[in-house]
Amino acid sequence: MDQALFEFCLRMGDNTLVLGHRVSEWCGHAPVLEEDIALANTALDLIGQTQLWLGLAGEVEGAGRDADALAFRRDAWDFRSVLLVEQPNGDFGQTILRQYLFDQYQALMLAELVASSDARVSAIAQKAAKEVAYHLDRSRDTVVGLGDGTDESHTRMQAALDRLYPFVGELFGEDDLDREVAARGIAPLPASLRAAYDAALAATMDEATLALPDSRWSQSGGRDGTRHSEHLGHLLTEMQWLQRAYPDARW
């Protein structure tokens, strides 16, 4: 089995799965109907991309696990999602800021993955890149609108940025797995995306009149599964409940 490719697909698919589930928690709770629909649609795209990434992971593994088995039958320590995406929704501003921090990274990553040496990875990236570009348009605009909005919205957005920025560094982590997939031309080293990310973030926050925290110190432990936050377990409890209670249940 190609362990590196398998784990790489888990990192991509677990990020979209966990974020997709988080965003779906807004369904029926958003501030206005249009935002409710937008969040549900974003979640749907992310879950769709999850099916592609985890589907490929299952194919690479060759052990008969499909995307559903990987999503619903693994426990927290087998997840390879970054800590950023498992953070709770907080208020609407925090949800949108988390989305922007992720979308900006994902757009840069997918743009590179289009040229992956693995044709399957490239095909998924080409598909997902279009959807993520659309998400990024919206999350960026909304961050700017709320940051440069009322005193109340500005204060909330700044608080969200202060809270979430310490999870950004993990997106650019590097370990043996990253080095192997980079050497094989499957994916770029995440660190190689950092300069473009920082430039985009600085421009957005400037427009949003928000101040990026001085410290670049970052939490880590999600993408290698060594130290997820407690939030992931709670999320999985809810997301996996049906398949855990009634294995192989189907509509």
Of 58-66, 130-138, 156-164, 202-210, the segment contacting other proteins by CB under 8 A is 130-138
In the bound state with other proteins, the residue whose beta carbon lies nearer, of 49 and 104, is 49
CA-to-CA separations, 228 to 7, 87, 138, in angstroms, rounded: 16, 10, 28
What does the buried/exposed string (b/e) look like for 160-191 if buried means 16 or more CB atoms within 10 Å of the residue's CB? bbeebbbbbbbbbbeeebbebbbeeebbbbbe
C-alpha span between 109 and 82 (Å, rounded): 14
Q: Which of 38, 76, 109, 136 binds other proteins (CB under 8 A)?
A: 38
* Residue 29 found at the interface with other proteins (CB under 8 A): no
Nearest distance in Å: CB 131, other proteins: 6
Q: Which helix (H) or strand (E) holds 130?
A: helix 119-147
Report DSSP letters for 69-106, one per residue.
HHHHS--GGG----HHHHS---SHHHHHHHHHHHHHHH
In the bound state with other proteins, the residue whose beta carbon lies nearer, of 122 and 240, is 122
In the bound state with other proteins, the residue whose beta carbon lies nearer, of 143 and 177, is 143
Residues 41-60 as x/- pattern, contact with other proteins by CB under 8 A:
xx-xxxxxx-xx--------
Of 133-141, 198-206, 226-234, 239-247, the segment contacting other proteins by CB under 8 A is 133-141
Nearest distance in Å: CB 47, other proteins: 5
User: Where along the sequence are the contacts to other proteins (CB under 8 A)?
Assistant: 34-35, 37-38, 41-42, 44-49, 51-52, 119, 122-124, 126-131, 134, 137-138
